[in-house]
Structure 1
Amino acid sequence: MAKAPGFKQVLKAVFGAFVGVQSEQQRQQDFQTTTIWPYLVAGIFAVVVFVALLLVLVSWVVAG
């Protein structure tokens, strides 16, 4: 197994998951890491930010 992923690798994986596109090489690298926690934290944070942005956008459109 590989060492813990770097910040850039985690962001790349989370962004790829949001968009739905990821290379096979990147996917293999993600699944060879020793820990899942960086991916979970970054994924949860990304979802919270995405939902917050949607709420702000909807409230702005409804108010306007």
Structure 2
Amino acid sequence: MKSGSKGQPEKDNAPQRPGVLKILQSILAGAFGVQSDKRRQEDFASGSPWPYIIAGVLFTAGFVIGLILIVNMVLASS
């Protein structure tokens, strides 16, 4: 354990891993175009982009599949 000044442990400067809720909020805010600059910078400082990429691809796939299902239901009922 490293010690800083006055014998107190130094804070680790490694980026924290974002939680699932934070990733979901960022993906939804980005999809609707209301992501704040502060949140965007936090996302980029969080380390690996992979959680955001995976969540974005899953969200996009779910959105497209949802639209296809809705269109098929509307066309089938008419």
Runs of 4+ in 1 over 4 A off after TM superposition: none
Distance in 2 separating the partners of 1:56 and 1:9 = 28
- Can you give the 5+ residue segments of structure 1 that lack an aligned partner in the other structure? none
Backbone CA RMSD of aligned residues: 1.1
The answer to which structure, 1 or 2, has the higher relative contact order (CA under 8 A, 6+ apart) is 1
TM-score (norm: length of structure 1): 0.91
The amino acid that maps onto 2:52 is Y
Distance in 1 separating the partners of 2:66 and 2:35 = 24
Larger proportion of helix: 1
Percent sequence identity over matched residues? 34
Determine which structure has more spread, i.e. the larger CA radius of gyration. Answer: 2
TM-score (norm: length of structure 2): 0.76
